[in-house]
């Protein structure tokens, strides 16, 4: 069931989103050659607690960390480790927090040091696909329309979308209905309505869209080991239009 949030609930989620954006801003500034993904995780947890919130991911379905750190072919849910980032890597940071009973969720992908032009393109296309999706949001548009828009844009850039992972509704639970696919769905899909809050999160690959469980048994990676990128925002459908609650740039 898709829940509709009141204005008061959206205000709390707005505060949660702002806090999460502040956390992501702090993490982005720490990404550099030589830092370990475990160090980034420790920084993320400290930043969240300092803002009076709680990590959303730690312990969720057994996940052992606050921050998902997905490097190169890892798409999502990579477990922080002693891996030191090196020049040429592509790093996705996915993080969530809980504040006053409500969740917020977001992700960005960053180049590390000097990267190949195709990595810059992969990141920019994924970021742009999220931007296009957000700009298309209005009451009456379906989530299927959004998925179709994302897929068409990504494929026009000679890249592909991951089909086995998706966006979601969010609120008092981290993951709520509906599931929001990043490609054209068959059949009818729910319409966007005033008061809905949801996460768009396009995941894009430079190769084939098929995935497999990563060696850490938590993350998902491309089956053909092609590079991937991931962006996500928490968005509220308000009377003034779509509002990105996790906007930080």
CA distance 3 to 73: 34
* Residues pairing with 168 in the sheet: 179, 199
Does the pTM surpass 0.95? The reply is yes
66 lies in some domain: yes
176 lies in some domain: yes
DSSP-derived secondary structure for the chain: -PPPPPHHHHHHHHHHHHHHHHHHHHHHTT--TT-BHHHHHHHHHHHHHHTT-EESSTTGGG---SEEEEETTEEE-PPP-SPBP-TT-EEEEEEEEEETTEEEEEEEEEE-SS--HHHHHHHHHHHHHHHHHHHT--TT-BHHHHHHHHHHHHHHTT-EE-SS--EEE-SSSSSEEEEE-SSPPSS--PBP-TT-EEEE--EEESS---EEE-TTSS-EEETT---EEE-BEEEEEETTEEEETT---
- Residue 249 has a pLDDT of 74
2 lies in some domain: no
- Name every residue whose Cβ is closer than 8 Å to that of residue 131 and which is 6 or more positions away in sequence: none
249 lies in some domain: no
**Domain span holding position 186:** 7-240
- Residue 186 has a pLDDT of 81
- Residue 248 has a pLDDT of 84
- Name every residue whose Cβ is closer than 8 Å to that of residue 216 and which is 6 or more positions away in sequence: 78, 79, 81
Neighbours of 238 (CB within 10 A): 17
246 lies in some domain: no
CA distance 7 to 140: 19
1 lies in some domain: no
CA-wise closest residue to 68 among 93, 47, 89: 93
When divided into structural domains, the chain yields a total of: 1
pLDDT in tens, the chain (249 residues): 999 999 999 999 999 999 999 999 999 999 999 999 999 999 999 999 999 999 999 999 999 999 999 999 999 999 999 999 999 999 999 999 999 999 999 999 999 999 999 999 999 999 999 999 999 999 999 999 999 999 999 999 999 999 999 999 999 999 999 999 999 988 899 999 999 999 999 999 999 999 999 999 999 999 999 999 999 999 999 999 999 999 987
- Residue 3 has a pLDDT of 97
pLDDT tens for residues 141-196?
999 999 999 999 999 999 999 999 999 999 999 999 999 999 998 889 999 999 99
pLDDT tens for residues 11-25?
999 999 999 999 999
CA distance 177 to 244: 19
Give the CATH number of the domain where residue 189 resides.
3.90.230.10
- Residue 194 has a pLDDT of 98
CA distance 81 to 157: 33
């Amino acid at each position: 069931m898709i829940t509709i949030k009141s204005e008061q609930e959206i205000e709390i989620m707005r505060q949660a989103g702002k806090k999460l954006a502040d956390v992501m801003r702090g993490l982005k500034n720490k990404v550099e050659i030589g830092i370990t993904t475990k160090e980034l995780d420790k920084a993320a947890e400290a930043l969240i607690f300092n803002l009076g919130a709680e990590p959303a991911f730690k312990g969720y379905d057994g996940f052992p960390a606050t921050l998902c750190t997905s490097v190169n072919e890892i798409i999502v849910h990579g477990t922080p480790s002693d891996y030191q980032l090196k020049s040429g890597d592509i790093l996705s940071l996915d993080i969530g927090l809980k504040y006053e009973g409500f969740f917020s969720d977001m992700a960005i992908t960053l180049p590390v040091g000097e990267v190949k032009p195709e990595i810059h393109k992969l990141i920019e296309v994924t970021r742009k696909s999220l931007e296009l999706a957000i700009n298309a949001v209005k009451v009456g548009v379906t989530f299927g329309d959004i998925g179709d828009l994302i897929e068409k844009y990504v494929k026009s850039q000679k890249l592909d979308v991951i089909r086995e992972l998706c966006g979601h509704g969010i609120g008092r639970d981290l993951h709520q209905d509906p599931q929001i696919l990043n490609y054209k769905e068959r059949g009818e899909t729910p319409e966007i309505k005033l008061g809905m809050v949801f996460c768009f999160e396009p995941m894009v690959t430079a190769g084939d869209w098929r995935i497999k469980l990563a060696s850490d048994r938590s993350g998902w990676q491309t089956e053909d080991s092609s590079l991937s990128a991931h962006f996500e925002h928490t968005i509220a459908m308000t009377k003034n239009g779509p509002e990105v609650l996790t906007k930080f740039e």
